[in-house]
Amino acid sequence: MANPKTLVRFGVIGTVLVALCCFTPILVILLGVVGLSALTGYIDYILIPALIVFIGLTIYALQRKHNADACCPPTRAGEKN
């Protein structure tokens, strides 16, 4: 199983990147510079589902992290149980 902190980081970074590409013309400009501006009509078919997946991953990871923190509270270094 993946570390919940890693999942949260991955989910948040992916959500931010996809949101930037969805709601700003960054990807359209980059595709135009590279010469692939004909693909701009199909961007929404990829980015909207990717945004939904990354938001779902973030929610899932936050729930796993919350459950892991509730189950096993972290101990300080040098402390014995």
Q: Token pair for residue 65?
A: 């992290």
User: What is each CA distance from 61 to 2, 65, 79, in whole angstroms?
Assistant: 10, 6, 28
How large is the average pLDDT for residues 67-78? 69
Domains in the chain: boundaries? 4-69
What pTM was estimated for this model as a whole? 0.67
Per-residue pLDDT tens digits for 12-37: 888 888 887 777 777 788 888 888 87
Residue 71 in tokens: 């189950």
